[in-house]
Structure 1
């Protein structure tokens, strides 16, 4: 699946699990800038949206609620991603609201959130720099473990195929499913094996078929 298909599925999945104000904020708040963040930064380097929540609700310092543009919640770490536009509204914000926004961010930090902010211009003109920041984040706090979840959309499709297959997965079946040459399918199968997502169906030296790792099925699919 390409980005457009994955993005539609991602938003639909979250919409189906929300109601009331949480659903309204997702429908109204997830707009052009947020989609641009996913398309230009997140998707090219991560390849999926696992652990990433759009318009994520959190309690604020006044016992109310606020919504983060995105929250990446995985293990013991929580990251907030905020997309900041530049507009006359931003320049004309009153002092009370300006101070309130700063206090809200301070509270997030005290509550254990790590905050990354991106300007709309950076999404458009400094994509590579922003992508490197995301990779740095994953590498610093998750180390080698991060590699196992950085799956391309082809690898994701193979895992879904493996989960649906009764028989062990062979190269020809993967190649036919993806519409690629057997050599490409074989490379992706080996990568998934290296990442611990697939296991050889039999033998280790001359692998002809693979089965889904039970841990991968529980934690990823």
Structure 2
């Protein structure tokens, strides 16, 4: 009897140990998958960059990689709509670059370590950083800076902040809620895409071809969406228009 109990006890422990190993392997696969997605995204950004932007993308991107891997990819589910070292021209004509820019909602994300950004910063650099923040504000962009320590030690807090930003800025302005339900939902779905097609609209909203055509035509006319490519007879695809971006950013009346 004692040996039987010993055998069962041993089997249970082996099972638990095996589950621990499996869970560890699953987590490792998830980490590797995120790393692969981020690496491919960065390579794609470099291929389309030139000049000073390309030079900046060739520098050490460890902070940006951590921002993408640990914070933005888990929250957004993909890196569609994001740009690295996004160029913005200030009112004084000076070009500045946002580390990570989410175009659909005008969100700027950055990650900085303590030593290079605080301990070693010069007075001129400090003034330049203040100018950058003003430029983001004047351009209507929401600026979300994170420290490397926060991403290392308080990642859940950081994710909650981004989720809250999406809830307030990207998903619920008064003007947005006043739209017909199909227009409102299409804008919300399109916010996570750099481009979408009529087929995407049908899948997102579960509507037919005729309703899709009518919806797209109406939203094009009101500048909620705009065409991408195509010809005089046929549009290739669509993206958020000026009015659509304003509503998603909470600027609609």
TM-score, normalised to structure 2, is: 0.55
**Is the CA contact (8 Å cut-off) linking 1:47 and 1:150 kept in structure 2?**
no
> Deviations along 1:71-123, whole A, 9 cap, x unmatched?
1111xx41111212100662232223212321221122122121111000011
Instruction: For structure 2, list consecutive stretches of 5 or more residues without a partner in the other structure.
Output: 1-29, 173-184, 193-198, 209-235, 240-253
Match of 1:141 in 2: 169
SS of equivalent residue, structure 1 residue 87 = helix
Alpha-carbon shift at residue 136 of structure 1 (Å): 1.3
Q: CA–CA distance in 2 between the matches of 1:88 and 1:15?
A: 24
Match of 1:84 in 2: 112
**Is the CA contact (8 Å cut-off) linking 1:58 and 1:65 kept in structure 2?**
yes
Of 101, 104, 115 in structure 1, the residue corresponding to residue 129 of structure 2 is 101
Task: State the Cα RMSD in Å.
Answer: 3.4
SS of equivalent residue, structure 1 residue 18 = coil
Answering whether residue 97 of structure 2 is matched by residue 67 of structure 1, we say yes
**Is the CA contact (8 Å cut-off) linking 1:61 and 1:104 kept in structure 2?**
no
**Is the CA contact (8 Å cut-off) linking 1:46 and 1:150 kept in structure 2?**
no
**Is the CA contact (8 Å cut-off) linking 2:67 and 2:110 kept in structure 1?**
no
Of 40, 46, 49 in structure 2, the residue corresponding to residue 9 of structure 1 is 40
Q: For 1:11-90, what aligned pairs fall within 5 Å after superposition?
A: 11-29=42-60, 31-74=61-104, 77-87=105-115, 90=118
Answering whether residue 173 of structure 2 is matched by residue 122 of structure 1, we say no
Instruction: For structure 1, list consecutive stretches of 5 or more residues without a partner in the other structure.
Output: 152-161, 164-191, 201-216
SS of equivalent residue, structure 1 residue 53 = strand
Query: Which one has a larger percent helix, Structure 1 or Structure 2?
Result: 2
SS of equivalent residue, structure 2 residue 106 = strand
Distance 1:81 1:99, change over 3 A: same
SS of equivalent residue, structure 2 residue 133 = helix
User: Which deviates more from structure 2 when the two are superposed, residues 4-13 or residues 139-148?
Assistant: 139-148
> Deviations along 1:167-218, whole A, 9 cap, x unmatched?
xxxxxxxxxxxxxxxxxxxxxxxxx96x44x779xxxxxxxxxxxxxxxx94
SS of equivalent residue, structure 2 residue 93 = coil
> Deviations along 1:18-37, whole A, 9 cap, x unmatched?
122221111215x1111111
Q: CA–CA distance in 1 between the matches of 2:34 and 2:238?
A: 22
Alpha-carbon shift at residue 150 of structure 1 (Å): 9.4
Runs (4+) of structure 1 exceeding 6 A deviation are none
Question: In the comparison of the two structures, how many residue pairs are matched?
Answer: 165
